[in-house]
Amino acid sequence: MVEFGDGSSLITRLDTGNVTITPARSGSSPSDAQQAAQDGSVTTTNGPERELRTVTPRGYSLHGNNKADSFHYKSDSGMAKLDRCDNGRCTVKASVKVQLKQTLHGGSSHRWTLGLLTDHWSGDPYSFSYDYYCGVSVPNETDWTCDTNDATANGHHSDDPVRGSTGTYAHDLNRDFGAHEADRTKFPMVAYHISWPGYPPVVHVKYRGWDIRRYSGVWKLAPATGTGN
């Protein structure tokens, strides 16, 4: 189950090998979690997920509107949970707190630092891997990744830093989003892959960061942002 700050949740259940994802509540307007279920920004599979492409990958969504200022954004914190269900009765086997932070450096910098947080909350040890992408917003066309037309931008990056841990992983991922295409909007994307050794499901939480634009030579968070695709 992935729980969000608005109280909504997604349930990941391990029940005789069948994995389901279910919004915990409904309403007249989609919650962050329900929207995530609809557009694929939170999914569960029985194996690893990897994406390699030059157009931006799909299913990455904004989780929360927590823009602090022109240089700092953080997602809502979430809780990835593994429920073990038997004869209709479910118990939480494990849970991991997850969050993404985005920081711009200001001045002439064209880099951002993405704070990746996973924190063992309860139950069995967890493993964590991630995929990073950088996107360029292209009006009336399919968005492309930052390194597609700009060799100065860092491209796709992945790592699996946590294996069978009951601790906290807090890492600052510093990447270059490119010195060129300065008239366009750019945004980061990070997919978290949470799993538990001995259990097949993998929970994928796809974070889209806040849009950035260059104002008077300085990259800043835009006043408003896209929410994902």
Return the minimum-mean-pLDDT range out of 79-88, 178-187, 205-214.
Answer: 79-88
Residue whose pair of structure tokens reads 């949470």 in the numeric block: 194
- Binned at pLDDT 50, 70 and 90, residue 11 comes out as low
Mean pLDDT across the chain: 83
Backbone angles phi, psi at 215, to 5 degrees: -120, 115
Work out the average pLDDT over 51-73.
Answer: 88
Give pLDDT tens digits for 106-160.
999 999 999 999 999 999 999 999 999 999 999 888 999 999 999 999 999 999 9
Residue 170: the pLDDT is 96
pLDDT in tens, 25-42: 223 233 444 444 444 455
Choice between 137 and 14, residue whose per-residue pLDDT is larger: 137
In the chain, the percentage of residues whose pLDDT exceeds 70 is 76
The residue ranking higher by pLDDT, 52 or 138, is 138
Cα dihedral across residues 8, 14, 15, 20: positive or negative: positive
Q: How confident is the model at residue 12 (pLDDT cuts 50, 70, 90)?
A: low
Mean pLDDT value across residues 212-223: 97
**Domains parsed from the chain with CATH numbers:** 2-221 (2.60.40.10)
pLDDT of residue 85: 73
